[in-house]
Chain A
Amino acid sequence: MQQYSGFGLLKHSLSHHENWQRVWRNPTPKKKYDVIIIGGGGHGLATAYYLAKEHGVTNVAVIEKGYLGGGNTARNTTIVRSNYLWDEAAHLYEHAMGLWEGLSQDLNYNVMFSQRGVLNLGHTLQDMRDIERRVNANRLNGIDGEVLDPKQIKEIVPHMDCSENTRYPIMGASWQPRGGVARHDAVAWGFARGADAYGVDLIQQTEVTDLIIEDGTITGVKTNRYGDIMADRVGSVVAGNSGVVAKMAGFDLPLESHPLQALVSEPIKPILDTVVMSNHVHGYVSQSDKGDLVIGAGIDGYNGYGQRGSYPTIEHTIQAIVELFPIFSRVRMNRQWGGIVDTCPDACPIISKTPVKNLFFNCGWGTGGFKATPGSGNVFAASLAKGEMHPLAEPFSMFRFHNGALIDEHGAAGVAH
């Protein structure tokens, strides 16, 4: 793999940047792999990367029906934080945060991870009680967090209306300084390039149409372009389509797929250098390096696979953002889109063995999967390599919905994706 560096940039500028190596190959799949990963989004590519890098498993294929990182990885609002309430979730997301902090160097690819801090606003007494509890739980878990009052918030975000004259005055906030944003596409591309360099085959434009299961053990997958491809182990990382793949395997998942939408404004000059989210008025906003405001909404209440969102949801979100930032009221929106999120009843993911032997699922990230991308891939890779779940992944078994050991993260997951 060609290393990227300042010197390389200078060198290639002499040949008008025409001789850069292709970032990854476009191979024809082999007949058999050690591990097949279904789904070439951020989580799937991270899984392939860590399988090769940390476990030496390089005979791996990632099978993607569209193009790499074209699903929810390309559709989220790029927020990264780890301030979850319960130990199990906090440890998992903090594991991801640790990997984020060294990711650009590790991948030799600039994922533009910017730890600009994340504010979660509270507008009611109950919000503030929940925030106090969550921040204290975070600190006990070694995760940074502070409770701020409106005056301190005003110092961080001077343009926000922190007065008492709003419909839902801001009473305080939790503040995670290590949180921030990353460039979503670069994350997928960086992991893809890294995995490819270790010899992982990235098979795009190829849909898995069925699973090959013999005596309760998976032995391969059927595809629409290359016929049957065999594998010792298969990991499914297909987000909104997890229910569809589970149906091929003959079991059900406790997931419901909902459209979740986001929108970006026209680029404006730098005005917001942190991430602001509010569960109560239901919206979140940050500003990208390009200058556009990245605004996220809630999910549509109904199930849907349409990859588009409803207009009432946009209206509610914009109301919330304009209430917080009256100065944004005349900013024009450029684009709006929807992704399909697979939500779990307890707002926590499923990283699990399944009733089918050697078939593993990583799904149910719902509205907040992007922040976990490196951590999710890391623990899922360890699980696929060993055939036993990584200790951090163990609490997230799909069988928790039978034994009742749920991890209720609705408070921390809430709207704050």
Chain B
Amino acid sequence: MFHIYCPHCAEYREEEEFHAKGQAHIARPLDPEACSDKEWGEYLFFRKNPRGLHHELWVHAAGCRKFFNMTRDTQTYEIKEVYKIGEQPSVVAE
């Protein structure tokens, strides 16, 4: 069971209040019409899947309902840090 610190509520809450929403920091192509099929397919479907540090988007679904980012180890499940949308992580995955 994760104990997750919500940066908006400034409190630790249990995992059940949160939902993982996949990889963080995915930038939508500025001009989708100009993308090749490969570029557009990779934007839509290809996600990082590291065994190790991973930047993820989470939502405090049963709490403040706001989104935030988390850096977590997918092997040990250790949460390295949480930070708000728009901020950059201080612990960076390779």
A404 and B37 alpha carbons, distance in the complex (Å):
8
Q: Interface stretch among B5-13, B15-23, B84-92? A: B15-23
Tally of chain B residues near chain A (CB < 8 A): 25
Is B41 interfacial (CB 8 A cutoff)? Answer: yes
A401 and B77 alpha carbons, distance in the complex (Å):
29
Chain A residue numbers with a CB within 8 Å of B77 are 304, 306
Chain B residue numbers with a CB within 8 Å of A241 are 51
Is A244 interfacial (CB 8 A cutoff)? Answer: yes
Residues 344-373 of A at the B interface (beta carbon under 8 Å): 345
Residues 1-41 of B at the A interface (beta carbon under 8 Å): 1-2, 15-16, 19-20, 22, 37-38, 41
Residue of A nearest to B19 (CB): A301
Is A7 interfacial (CB 8 A cutoff)? Answer: no
* B45/A345 in contact, CB under 8 A: yes
Chain B residue numbers with a CB within 8 Å of A252 are 42, 46
Is A403 interfacial (CB 8 A cutoff)? Answer: yes
Report the minimal beta-carbon distance from A14 to chain B, rounded to whole angstroms.
Answer: 52
* B49/A306 in contact, CB under 8 A: no
Option from A256, A301, A310, A401 in Cβ contact (under 8 Å) with B49: A256
Report the minimal beta-carbon distance from A342 to chain B, rounded to whole angstroms.
Answer: 8
Chain A residue numbers with a CB within 8 Å of B46 are 252-254, 401
Chain B residue numbers with a CB within 8 Å of A129 are none
A296-310 vs B, Cβ < 8 Å mask (1 yes, 0 no) = 000011111110001
A243 and B46 alpha carbons, distance in the complex (Å):
11
* B47/A254 in contact, CB under 8 A: yes
* A304/B74 in contact, CB under 8 A: yes
Report the minimal beta-carbon distance from A276 to chain B, rounded to whole angstroms.
Answer: 26
A158 and B60 alpha carbons, distance in the complex (Å):
41
Residue of B nearest to A307 (CB): B75
Known A-B contacts A304-B77, A310-B1, A312-B15; A255 and B41 likewise in contact (beta carbons under 8 Å): no
* A302/B56 in contact, CB under 8 A: yes
* A403/B49 in contact, CB under 8 A: no
* B74/A312 in contact, CB under 8 A: no
Chain B residue numbers with a CB within 8 Å of A345 are 44-45
A301 and B18 alpha carbons, distance in the complex (Å):
10
A306 and B41 alpha carbons, distance in the complex (Å):
29
Chain A residue numbers with a CB within 8 Å of B47 are 254, 256
Residues 244-269 of A at the B interface (beta carbon under 8 Å): 244, 252-257
* A302/B72 in contact, CB under 8 A: yes
Option from A255, A302, A304, A403 in Cβ contact (under 8 Å) with B37: A403
* B56/A303 in contact, CB under 8 A: yes
Chain A residue numbers with a CB within 8 Å of B20 are 300-303
* B37/A303 in contact, CB under 8 A: no
Option from A253, A311, A402 in Cβ contact (under 8 Å) with B41: A402
Option from B44, B54, B56, B76 in Cβ contact (under 8 Å) with A306: B76
Chain B residue numbers with a CB within 8 Å of A257 are 49, 51, 74
Residue of A nearest to B58 (CB): A302
A305 and B50 alpha carbons, distance in the complex (Å):
9
Chain A residue numbers with a CB within 8 Å of B16 are 312
* B45/A303 in contact, CB under 8 A: no
A403 and B76 alpha carbons, distance in the complex (Å):
36
Chain B residue numbers with a CB within 8 Å of A255 are 49
